[in-house]
Chain A
Amino acid sequence: MTMGKPLPHDAAPLHVTGQARYIDDIPLPADALHLAFGLSTIAHGEVTAMDLTAVRAAPGVVAVLSPEDFAEMPDCSPSVHDEPLLATGMVHYLGQPLFLVAADSHLAARRAARLAKMTYRELPALLTVDDALAANSRFEQGPVIWTKGDPAAAIAKAPHTVEGSFEVGGQEHFYLEGQVAACLPQEGGDVTILSSTQHPTEIQHKVAHALHLPMSSVRVEVRRMGGGFGGKESQGNALAIACAVVATRTGRPCKMRYDRDDDMMITGKRHDLRILYRAGFDDAGRVTGLEFTHLFRCGWAQDLSLPVADRAMLHADNCYHLPDIRIESHRLKTHTQSATAFRGFGGPQGMVGVERVMDHIAQMLGRDPLQVRRANFYRAAEVAGPVQTTPYHMAVEDFIGHELVAELERTSDYTKRRAEIAAWNATSPILKRGIALTPVKFGISFTLTHLNQAGALVHVYQDGSIQLNHGGTEMGQGLFQKVAQVVAGVFGVDAGAVKITATDTGKVPNTSATAASSGSDLNGMAARAAAETIRARLAAFLAEKHQTTPAKVRFADGLVTVAGETYDFARVANWAYQARVSLSSTGFYATPKIVWDRMRGTGRPFLYFAYGAAVTEVVIDTLTGENRILRADLLHDTGTSLNPALDIGQVEGAYVQGAGWLTTEELVWDAKGKLTTHAPSTYKIPACSDRPRIFNVALWGKPNREDTVGKSKAVGEPPFMLGISALMALSDAVAACGDGSTYPALDAPATAERVLAAIKRMRAHG
């Protein structure tokens, strides 16, 4: 079987030799133009005058477009029409594109863009959730509220109560390849777009809209991205539209690549938020009633903020059965970059909230937080009892948290290490260690139900070679290889025999973003369907030839066996071609079972859940707040893995990225709304030297209970939340600085500065 093999990434030979091409590596015709935006330097106000004389006169500049040059300003928004390509009069954030420069080189365009003389009438900017709340500046009319049971009554009756407020920071994607797009004008006004995007169809749709063309006149191609992480779901629209507009006006190919600084100033990031919580619980730490308020800072445009904030609500329970719960979610509009999709899509924000509650309860009861977590787990799928439902009334039918956590507890030696750490801390006045085990339950499917579809196109050529195309995009996650393995499995050939081709809206239309971890679930099924259609035709053809039934034709090891005869796959393909059998097919898949009423917050938004758990051990320096991850043990559920090597890579990378979010990655805006951490010099993503000293990673390996491709489970996002254990381990280490009477209340990211401040709070009470 080809499925399930730990094959390397399909493009690895190209990557290790520098031959893999990203958009910026593709040679463009000599007359190509390079574009750059001129950016606003205030967060909120009106542009009263725009003097672009020096920009136009700068060396190499070919064209400069300001809002006056557009009869109708193109829109870049993936949701509502609230993102003009260039600010039209009003400026909504510092870094917003105001005008567009086309020059004969990238640097000439960027240099020229700095020469504008802008005059503004500055207005007060709403920068924080408090500013936005006070001004009632929000998306939607008011907060979205879901209630199950009667949490207020449950909390009033509870033996113990806890409440708190928790700040959770945002996160810059820091895909190594910045945003980039190119446009090649075609005959008759058509355009071809090359875009580093997770969502080719969205690029096609937005470019067609901007140029007043039907979608059929716009073709978008994506061979690969140098990382996406959600940051290329909607944030590439502006570049593609800008290229298409200038290419159409000048008749010349155009390319736009954001310099890293511009990328960080212009594009959206993970949503930061404040979480308010109030819970009632019993002596065992079992939560009887819980109320959450999520205060999301969404930035200036709606973008994907509503579904992101929804997904946070959908993960406010994580692994815990909360019969009486109320979740109130505010989507606040501020004069900052438009927060957008980022791996987990709100799920991490929802989940870290309930993990904070568990941690806080454990401290109040003086218990191991793992006991408290376990006391609140959903009932195991095998154990009889009334159906337990999530806060959004979906029955939890596949809960494997008990067994998975028990296994990790054993393999990580959690209990013994926890005791050892306590003993060690008692003898160590300066350094303190901490440990935490946190679980993950993550819902798989797009919550916008119609997105749960995919198409594929498979060709078999007369020489037996196979070409595969589908709607998913490759950003490093290995999707192309996994889907190729599925198709190879159908034809009984090596994965290497399946030629993988660039995502192309001209081959497979109406694709969903490669997002929500759904890439292999959706595209794997669609590609399997296409391949099975062709295989069925080949089998029918051979069966007739050999007077047998199609079911008796076998495809394995590059050979086809029928009625005692064995042929090369290539020979069969050629015969079928000669016999005028169609060797090309589309395939389609729509996820079954899901129904979802977003406004009421009820239904079954997910086909299944993916699970995992992590143990992290940290050490902190109580004099400086500096900290290190000493050891991480991860156990993650990817069902029956389509490719365990790729899945382990996803789990490791996601954990490190998740831990980065909650520890070192700090976004800071100044009082004028300027993002001051707009380069890797000031924004700290994990480096090789930050890697845990001991890093044990394993896959759970049991098949998905739902009928997914090869019984596998989605892996892109769920393991990101394993990083929550790093924050909770830091909380545990900080707690060791006190006498147990005070909760560390560590905000995220738990930078050295925050850890030090928390230590000081602990000692003030100690």
Chain B
Amino acid sequence: MGKKMQVSLTVNGEVHEVLAEPRELLIHTLREKLGITGPHIGCETSHCGACTVDMNGRSVKACTVFVAQADGAEITTIEGLGGPDGLHVLQRMFREHHGLQCGYCTPGMITRAHRLLQENPQPTEEEVRFGMAGNLCRCTGYQNIVKAIMAAAAEMNAKEAAE
């Protein structure tokens, strides 16, 4: 066992100090120490994207990031985007456009889509397809996921234009 280290990270705007082994993965810190269970464990090898969170303005797979690497980082998880009483437009569109079935991939999928729309606010369908290729869904066939993201982008852009 390695020596434990003190790690400070900001998750969804809240600062947390945690004691962690050097090999501890961010996903385990979030789920087991901080009780943030929106990001799920799917494959544990960074392929499925169920654990996607936002770290310092980039999408990362929390199953292959050491929590030590997140020292000082700003992390946003699905919980930070909006709760049941105040859905983010992406969350609303995933619901309205049926962009989910079993829902296990959904938190990572929406968190990734949120970053994608920051990187590219007006994506084409093709860009959404490739921008989301690192997040697997076994249920939907992706059609409604792409629709939801396109609809969210349209609404976010319309809102921005109006402002």
Which A residues fall within an 8 A CB radius of B?
Answer: 8-9, 11-22, 24-25, 27, 59, 107, 173-178, 224-229, 257, 259-261, 475-478, 645-646, 648-649, 652-657, 679-681, 685-689, 691, 695, 697
Contact = CB atoms under 8 A, between A and B. Distances in A.
Given A13-B95, A229-B138, A681 B79 contact: no
Contacts of B104: 22, 175-177, 226-227, 476
A33 to B, nearest CB: 15
A176 B135 CA distance: 11
Contact of B136 (A27, A176, A259, A652): A176
- Top 6 nearest A-B pairs by Cβ distance? A18-B38, A476-B102, A226-B104, A15-B103, A656-B141, A476-B101
15 contacts: A15-B94, A18-B39, A18-B107, A22-B40, A25-B37, A174-B136, A176-B136, A176-B138, A227-B104, A649-B144, A653-B101, A680-B47, A686-B142, A687-B134, A691-B143
A9 B142 CA distance: 16
B21 to A, nearest CB: 10
Interface in B85-110: 87, 90-92, 94-96, 98, 100-107, 110
B146 A681 contact: no
Contacts of B36: 18
Nearest to A680: B47
Interface in B32-72: 35-45, 47-48, 50
B103 A224 contact: yes
Interface of B: 1, 28, 31, 35-45, 47-48, 50, 77-79, 81-84, 87, 90-92, 94-96, 98, 100-107, 110, 128-130, 132-146
B48 A652 contact: no
A652 to B, nearest CB: 4
Given A25-B37, A176-B104, A8 B96 contact: yes
A107 to B, nearest CB: 8
Given A11-B103, A18-B38, 12 more contacts: A9-B103, A14-B103, A15-B100, A174-B138, A177-B102, A260-B45, A476-B104, A646-B98, A656-B142, A679-B45, A681-B45, A688-B130
Contacts of B42: 176-178, 260
B101 A176 contact: no
Given A476-B103, A655-B141, A18 B79 contact: yes
A175 B105 CA distance: 10
B43 A17 contact: no
A653 B141 CA distance: 4
A475 B139 CA distance: 9
B82 A17 contact: yes
Nearest to B130: A689
Contacts of A225: 102
B140 A653 contact: yes
Contacts, number: 189
B123 to A, nearest CB: 12
A22 B41 CA distance: 11
A17 B102 contact: no
A687 B133 CA distance: 6
B103 A652 contact: no
A649 B98 contact: yes
Nearest to A24: B41
B116 to A, nearest CB: 11
A685 to B, nearest CB: 6
B101 A18 contact: no
Contacts of A107: 28
B7 to A, nearest CB: 17
A606 B81 CA distance: 47
A72 B84 CA distance: 49
Contact of B43 (A475, A657, A680): A680
A19 B141 contact: no
B43 A260 contact: yes
A42 B91 CA distance: 47
Nearest to A177: B104
B106 A16 contact: yes
A475 B103 CA distance: 9
B133 to A, nearest CB: 4
B81 to A, nearest CB: 8
Contacts of B98: 8-9, 12, 645-646, 648-649
The interface centre, meaning the residue of A12, A19, A21, A688 with most chain B CB atoms within 10 A of its CB, is A688
A166 B22 CA distance: 52
Contact of B102 (A224, A656, A695): A224
Nearest to A719: B141
Contacts of B132: 688-689
B78 A17 contact: yes
Given A15-B103, A15-B106, A649-B144, A260 B95 contact: no
A134 B50 CA distance: 44
Given A17-B83, A27-B35, A653-B101, A691 B48 contact: no
